[in-house]
């Protein structure tokens, strides 16, 4: 949540900061600001709205070479120019950008006010600038460390001082910060997307670490001034991956990337000869895996829905008892960690606070926790005991699409691995692999029907309410379809098990509330058809996602989206595609801000 960028080097800081903020805008986009050191003074520009609003109001004289920038997702204080970052001290000599939440800010603020400091904003972040002011005696790093030692909460910060035109001090505790090492220039950012166009050499800061940098050099220490040697890492992905490549929106691009991203999630991990999967990152021996008696999956949002699909798979195919829990709920219910239970946390960003804290709570209680993450080097990826990267490439749209299908793909791999250690025969393992490998081509087929789905979006986008209904392994897909629609089109939608309709939601059915039914040709098909008929007989409109050539469905549904036939347990991967497209086209049709829907941000790093 919120994006940070800092720059020291020969280029125009303004240009680097604005470009970086545009790439970070998906992290938070209610206001933005930059601060540049110019002729021994700080020039600050802050604006409510998008980066383009800030750009339209930049002062003419911003020609410095060292500066910081921030794009905000508000937590403390309303969305306005004043509450936008950077925040300055009383003398406007020090400025800071901050991600995270300072829990004891009210106490610190009262104390600082009683000492004569005056505050401009309602934010928690501003206390950092005043604390640094209080402790500054010529050494910015020292002042920052003293200030941070008083802070309770989470932070990723970057701070500068007007007297030090080639110095930035950054620190992290709970909010990511990465150092970018260029040729005669240095960067700090909340994630690498902001700096990848300048450098691929990066250093990920850990909690409790502080970095001081100039355009040529950097030094990493802890809060007690102990030097820390850091590994320089190389970013493997390319700039094109964070550009739209001719698509209108990142979400559209990411939906269409799925045949490829699913292949990437499988690449090098399937072993046809042995009819199994290899997931080296799990850090578990065969014996460890054989000892697994239960699996618990913990996640939020779309990742939670992927975890639910994983649960159905693990139970029905690998025959391992499995539960799925909302991370924010698990954390506060004093969870019981049973022996021989393997835990998975699933998170695209690897930074979701609810999931991260749930993971730490589980680890505190002795659980082995594995991660299924996309962002390499993210906090969850680093703190888990092992795990699997989904290798989707950067997912920029706030609405998660390709990460969902890749997370599920990893669950197929894990299911295969466990199943082959237990009851699954060699032949069944090979058949499982073939079925999984056939999915990307089937998704291509669904994507080739996008025009028809766009047509349906035009027909249905004016409705205010929607129900999404599925059963079994496709029930979480229904939930995911509803989440996608409400998140980006702001149409109210609920996902239910089709069987639950009669226990309440059916009261909503009428001409004004269409239902979308997922009707694969699986064991529950007849039951879903009965539910569908119950809706039709009450005057409800029905869109069905059904298997190609299903004449029964064609007869009873108002509209049908066809998907290719696949083996039962693989339907989630093909069924979710039309739902993503429907949500996307509805949002476009309604003129919504598809990639940056209101009130949301890509990674939710606050509780």
User: Residue 27 or 420: which CB sits closer to ligand M6R?
Assistant: 27
Query: Smallest distance from the beta carbon of 536 to ligand M6R, in angstroms?
Result: 30
Determine if 355 is a binding residue for ligand M6R (CB under 6 A): yes
Query: Smallest distance from the beta carbon of 298 to ligand M6R, in angstroms?
Result: 10
Residues 292-331, mask of contacts with ligand M6R (x by CB under 6 A): --------xxxx----------------------------
**Residue from 71, 75, 603, 605 in contact with ligand M6R (CB under 6 A):** 603
**Residue from 215, 276, 347, 596 in contact with ligand M6R (CB under 6 A):** 347
Determine if 474 is a binding residue for ligand M6R (CB under 6 A): no
Cβ contacts of residue 35 below 8 Å, gap of 6+?
Answer: 42, 43, 44, 45, 67, 68, 69, 86, 88, 95, 97, 160
Cis geometry, peptide bond prior to residue 589 (ω within 30 degrees of 0):
no
Residue closest to ligand M6R, measured at CB = 301
Residues 267-286 interacting with ligand M6R (rule: CB under 6 A): none
Q: Is residue 224 a contact partner of residue 33, using CB atoms and an 8 Å limit?
A: no
Q: Which stretch binds ligand M6R (CB under 6 A): 69-77, 256-264, 342-350, 588-596?
A: 342-350
Query: Smallest distance from the beta carbon of 37 to ligand M6R, in angstroms?
Result: 34
Within 10 angstroms of residue 383's Cβ, the number of other Cβ atoms is 18
Distance CA 567, CA 442 (A): 12
Distance CA 198, CA 204 (A): 16
> What is the bridge-based pairing of β-strands 233-234 and 201-204?
antiparallel
Q: Which stretch binds ligand M6R (CB under 6 A): 170-178, 241-249, 345-353, 426-434?
A: 345-353
User: Residue 185 or 254: which CB sits closer to ligand M6R?
Assistant: 254
Q: Identify the helix (H) or strand (E) that includes residue 112.
A: helix 105-114
Residues 522-581 interacting with ligand M6R (rule: CB under 6 A): none
Q: Identify the helix (H) or strand (E) that includes residue 585.
A: helix 571-589
Q: Is residue 392 a contact partner of residue 333, using CB atoms and an 8 Å limit?
A: no
User: Residue 284 or 579: which CB sits closer to ligand M6R?
Assistant: 579
Determine if 604 is a binding residue for ligand M6R (CB under 6 A): yes
**Residue from 21, 37, 324, 399 in contact with ligand M6R (CB under 6 A):** 399
User: Residue 14 or 354: which CB sits closer to ligand M6R?
Assistant: 354
Q: Is residue 294 a contact partner of residue 322, using CB atoms and an 8 Å limit?
A: yes
Task: For residue 161, give both structure tokens.
Answer: 């001082």
Cis geometry, peptide bond prior to residue 568 (ω within 30 degrees of 0):
no
Residues 16-75 interacting with ligand M6R (rule: CB under 6 A): none
Distance CA 302, CA 590 (A): 23
Q: Which stretch binds ligand M6R (CB under 6 A): 75-83, 92-100, 392-400, 588-596?
A: 392-400
Query: Smallest distance from the beta carbon of 597 to ligand M6R, in angstroms?
Result: 8
User: Residue 207 or 487: which CB sits closer to ligand M6R?
Assistant: 487
Q: Report how far apart, in Å, the C-alpha atoms of 484 and of each of 195, 490, 597 are.
A: 29, 9, 11
Within 10 angstroms of residue 378's Cβ, the number of other Cβ atoms is 23
Residues touching ligand M6R, count (CB under 6 A): 16
**Residue from 99, 352, 405, 596 in contact with ligand M6R (CB under 6 A):** 352
Task: For residue 533, give both structure tokens.
Answer: 């008929």
Distance CA 122, CA 399 (A): 30
- On the 0-12 / 13-18 / 19+ scale of CB atoms within 10 A, 222 is middle
Distance CA 24, CA 5 (A): 9
User: Residue 99 or 349: which CB sits closer to ligand M6R?
Assistant: 349
Residues 217-256, mask of contacts with ligand M6R (x by CB under 6 A): ----------------------------------------
End-to-end alpha carbon distance in the chain = 11
User: Residue 199 or 302: which CB sits closer to ligand M6R?
Assistant: 302
Determine if 193 is a binding residue for ligand M6R (CB under 6 A): no
Determine if 99 is a binding residue for ligand M6R (CB under 6 A): no
Query: Smallest distance from the beta carbon of 350 to ligand M6R, in angstroms?
Result: 7
Within 10 angstroms of residue 184's Cβ, the number of other Cβ atoms is 10
**Residue from 398, 433, 542, 546 in contact with ligand M6R (CB under 6 A):** 398
Distance CA 289, CA 138 (A): 56
**CA 72 to chain centroid:** 16
Task: For residue 453, give both structure tokens.
Answer: 């789905």
Determine if 482 is a binding residue for ligand M6R (CB under 6 A): no
**Residue from 185, 191, 487, 522 in contact with ligand M6R (CB under 6 A):** 487
Residue 170, beta-bridge partner list: 158, 211
**CA 233 to chain centroid:** 22
User: Residue 341 or 400: which CB sits closer to ligand M6R?
Assistant: 400
Distance CA 96, CA 531 (A): 57
User: Residue 191 or 207: which CB sits closer to ligand M6R?
Assistant: 191
Active site residues: 2, 602
Query: Smallest distance from the beta carbon of 270 to ligand M6R, in angstroms?
Result: 24
Query: Smallest distance from the beta carbon of 25 to ligand M6R, in angstroms?
Result: 15
**Residue from 31, 154, 215, 348 in contact with ligand M6R (CB under 6 A):** 348
**DSSP class of residue 272?**
T
| Helix pair 140-148, 126-135: axis angle to 10 deg | 120
Q: Is residue 289 a contact partner of residue 418, using CB atoms and an 8 Å limit?
A: yes
User: Residue 114 or 599: which CB sits closer to ligand M6R?
Assistant: 599
| Binding stretches for ligand M6R (CB under 6 A) | 300-303, 347-349, 352, 355, 398-400, 483, 487, 603-604
């Amino acid at each position: 949540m919120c994006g940070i960028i800092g720059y020291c080097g020969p280029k125009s800081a303004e240009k680097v900061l604005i470009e970086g903020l545009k790439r970070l805008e998906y992290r938070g986009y209610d206001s933005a600001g930059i601060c540049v050191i110019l002729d021994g003074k700080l020039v600050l520009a802050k604006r409510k709205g998008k980066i383009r609003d800030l750009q339209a109001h930049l002062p003419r004289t911003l020609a410095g070479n060292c500066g910081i920038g921030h794009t905000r997702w508000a937590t403390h204080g309303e969305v306005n120019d004043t509450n936008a970052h950077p925040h300055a001290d009383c003398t406007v000599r020090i400025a800071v950008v901050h991600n995270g939440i300072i829990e004891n800010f009210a106490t610190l603020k009262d104390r600082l006010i009683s000492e004569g400091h005056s505050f401009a904003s309602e934010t928690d972040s501003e206390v950092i600038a005043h604390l640094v002011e209080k402790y500054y005696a010529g050494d910015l790093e020292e002042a920052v460390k003293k200030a941070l030692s008083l802070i309770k909460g989470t932070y990723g910060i970057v701070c500068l001082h007007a007297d030090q035109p080639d110095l930035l001090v950054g620190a992290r505790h709970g909010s990511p910060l990465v150092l970018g090492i260029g040729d005669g220039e240095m960067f700090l950012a909340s994630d690498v997307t902001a700096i990848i166009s300048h450098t691929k050499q990066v250093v990920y800061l850990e909690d409790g670490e502080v970095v001081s940098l100039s355009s040529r050099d950097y030094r990493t220490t802890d809060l007690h001034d102990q030097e820390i040697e850091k590994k320089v890492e190389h970013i493997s992905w390319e700039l094109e991956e964070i550009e739209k490549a001719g698509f209108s929106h990142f979400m559209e691009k990411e939906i269409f990337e799925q045949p490829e991203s699913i292949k990437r999630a499988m690449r090098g991990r399937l072993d046809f000869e042995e009819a199994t999967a290899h997931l080296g990152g799990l850090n578990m021996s065969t014996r460890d895996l054989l000892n697994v008696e239960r699996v618990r999956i913990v996640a939020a949002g779309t990742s939670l829905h992927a975890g639910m699909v994983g649960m159905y798979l693990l139970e029905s195919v690998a025959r391992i008892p499995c539960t799925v829990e909302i991370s924010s709920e698990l954390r506060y219910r004093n969870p019981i960690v049973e022996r021989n239970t393997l835990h998975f946390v699933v998170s695209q960003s690897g930074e979701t606070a609810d999931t991260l804290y749930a993971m730490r709570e589980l680890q505190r209680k002795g659980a082995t926790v594995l991660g299924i993450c996309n962002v390499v080097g993210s906090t969850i990826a680093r703190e888990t005991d092992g795990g699997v990267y989904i290798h989707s490439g950067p997912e920029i749209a706030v609405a998660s699409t390709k990460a969902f299908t890749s997370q599920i793909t990893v669950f197929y791999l894990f299911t295969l691995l466990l199943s082959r250690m237990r009851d699954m025969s060699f032949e069944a393992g090979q058949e499982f692999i073939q079925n999984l490998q056939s999915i990307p081509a089937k998704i291509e087929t669904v994507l080739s029907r996008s025009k028809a789905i766009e047509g349906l979006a035009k027909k249905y986008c004016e409705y205010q309410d929607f129900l999404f209904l599925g059963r079994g392994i496709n029930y979480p897909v229904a939930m995911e379809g509803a989440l996608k629609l409400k998140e980006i089109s702001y149409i109210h939608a609920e996902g239910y098990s089709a069987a639950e309709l009669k226990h309440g939601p059916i009261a909503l059915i009428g001409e004004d509330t269409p239902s979308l039914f997922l009707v694969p040709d699986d064991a529950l098909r007849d039951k879903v058809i009965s539910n569908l008929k119950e809706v039709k007989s009450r005057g409800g409109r029905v869109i069905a996602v059904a298997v190609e050539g299903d004449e029964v469905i064609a007869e009873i549904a108002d509209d049908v989206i066809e998907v290719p036939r696949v083996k039962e347990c693989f339907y989630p991967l093909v069924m979710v595609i039309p739902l993503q497209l429907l949500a996307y086209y509805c949002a476009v049709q309604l003129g919504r801000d598809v990639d940056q829907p209101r009130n949301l941000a890509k990674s939710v790093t606050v509780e």
